[in-house]
Amino acid sequence: MNKIDGNYVGLQEKLKIDCEKCSALCCVALFCSRTDGFPANKDAGIPCKHIKNDFRCDIHSKLVSKKMRGCLAYDCFGAGQKVTQLYPFGVDWKSNPNQADEIFQVFMIVFQLHQMEWYLIEALSLAVDEHLKSDIMELISQDEQMTAQRPDEILRLDVDSYRQNVNQTLKKVSEEITTSHSGCVKDFFGKDFKRANLDGRDFSMSLMIAANLEGCSLRHASFLGADMRDANIKNTDLSQCAFLTQMQINSAKGNGNTKLPQNLLLPDSWKELGA
Ligand code: SF4
Ligand code: SF4
């Protein structure tokens, strides 16, 4: 795969979560359900009962033992700390309940923009065609400009139009790097791929829930938007896969022998797990 310019590596670093600099936005703004691995069912906008006064989680060290898979898997692409810091110090959903809904809406928009930027930066490292690269750089620049705006301006953005352009561009990159394109959602729920050679396969938007990918060869396979919950990626080399996100990895089942692309982290709870 191509190397990307250091500036873009820096941009991608900004899209990593920093919960210490956030006011627990995901733990309030999002709908949560017990079946998805959260402590309780709750509506969007209602704070989780485990948020402490300093916005930390009072069961953080027990999330693994309590099997809170939803909490462990969630990744906001850095939207939480970004939005927390868009507001003056001391202005947050708890101290300013009248502004809470606005803060949550801005968070949801910035989350989408950061997610698209994450994909675009990866696309830039993969694209071969120079025109396509230039389109990607333009879209990244637009994304940066949008998220640099004030909260009231962010609320007025036309994110849908931007998303259409991003999707078209990502599709072109995915087609450039993979060798099989079906163009429709594929259902591989629970499928056992049995150490298959899946090099160049396009799993974009596929349902990979509980699929067994252990030991498969996955060079240049694309997982753009695939649902990876409980997919078995133990002892599997995903280092050359395209469009994987931290949330997909966190929701899958790996171990200390799972190899990931450079921009993703092995979940702590996997590190002691061997074959
Ligand atoms: S919104 Fe993001 S940064 Fe904030 S607590 Fe959640 S994951 Fe962490
Ligand atoms: S348990 Fe902790 S991490 Fe999970 S939603 Fe509640 S506060 Fe957030």
3-state secondary structure string across the chain? CCCCCHHHHHHHHHCCCCHHHCCCCHHHHCCECHHHCCCCCECCCCCCCCECCCCCECCHHHCCCCCCHHHHHCCCCCHHHHHHHHCCCCCCCCCCHHHHHHHHHHHHHHHHHHHHHHHHHHHHHHCCCHHHHHHHHHHHHHHHHHHCCCHHHHCCCCHHHHHHHHHHHHHHHHHHHCCECCCCCCECCCCECCCCECCCEECCCCECCCCECCCCECCCCECCCCECCCCECCCCECCCCECCCHHHHHHCECCCCCECCCCCCCCHHHCCCCC
pLDDT at position 269 is 84
Give pLDDT tens digits for 211-260: 999 999 999 999 999 999 999 999 999 999 999 999 999 999 999 999 99
Strand partners of residue 3: none
Same domain membership, residue 195 and residue 154: no
Same domain membership, residue 53 and residue 108: yes
Nearest residue (by CA) to ligand 2, atom 3, is 71
Range(s) of the domain holding residue 139: 6-177
CA of 19 to the centre of ligand 1 (A): 5
Between the alpha carbon of residue 88 and those of residues 61, 83, 84, the distances in Å are 30, 10, 9
State how far the Cα of 114 lies from the Cα of 227, in Å rounded to an integer. Answer: 19
Q: Which two tokens stand for residue 26?
A: 């995901």
pLDDT at position 173 is 94
User: CA 86, 117, 76 angle in degrees (round to 5)?
Assistant: 55
Which sign does the torsion angle of CA 194, 197, 199, 204 carry?
negative
Number of domains in the chain: 2
Q: Is residue 1 part of a domain?
A: no
State how far the Cα of 267 lies from the Cα of 68, in Å rounded to an integer. Answer: 14
State how far the Cα of 235 lies from the Cα of 274, in Å rounded to an integer. Answer: 8
Nearest residue (by CA) to ligand 1, atom 1, is 80
Same domain membership, residue 146 and residue 207: no
Same domain membership, residue 258 and residue 167: no
State how far the Cα of 160 lies from the Cα of 179, in Å rounded to an integer. Answer: 29
| Total-model pTM | 0.91
pLDDT at position 273 is 66
pLDDT at position 244 is 96
Q: Which two tokens stand for residue 66?
A: 């309590």
The number of the ligand nearest the C-alpha atom of 59 reads: 2
CA of 24 to the centre of ligand 1 (A): 6
Same domain membership, residue 138 and residue 249: no
> Among 34, 41, 42, 59, which residue has the most ligand 2 atoms within 8 Å of its CB, making it the best to mutate?
59
Flag residues of the chain having pLDDT under 50.
Answer: 1
Q: Is residue 70 part of a domain?
A: yes
Nearest residue (by CA) to ligand 1, atom 8, is 19
Rounded to 5 degrees, φ, ψ at 25 are: -60, -40
The number of the ligand nearest the C-alpha atom of 26 reads: 1
> Among 81, 94, 106, 112, which residue has the most ligand 1 atoms within 8 Å of its CB, making it the best to mutate?
81
Same domain membership, residue 119 and residue 221: no
Q: Which atom of ligand 2 lies at the shortest distance from residue 24's CA?
A: 8
Q: Is residue 112 part of a domain?
A: yes
CA of 27 to the centre of ligand 1 (A): 8
The domain boundary residue, chosen from 124, 156, 177: 177
The number of the ligand nearest the C-alpha atom of 83 reads: 1
Same domain membership, residue 226 and residue 135: no
Q: Is residue 214 part of a domain?
A: yes
Same domain membership, residue 203 and residue 150: no
CA of 62 to the centre of ligand 1 (A): 17
Phi-psi region of 190 (alpha: psi -120 to 50; beta: other; left: phi over 0): left
Is the distance from the beta carbon of residue 80 to the nearest atom of ligand 1 less than 6 Å? Answer: yes
Q: Which atom of ligand 1 lies at the shortest distance from residue 27's CA?
A: 6
Strand partners of residue 180: 201
Is the distance from the beta carbon of residue 51 to the nearest atom of ligand 2 less than 6 Å? Answer: yes
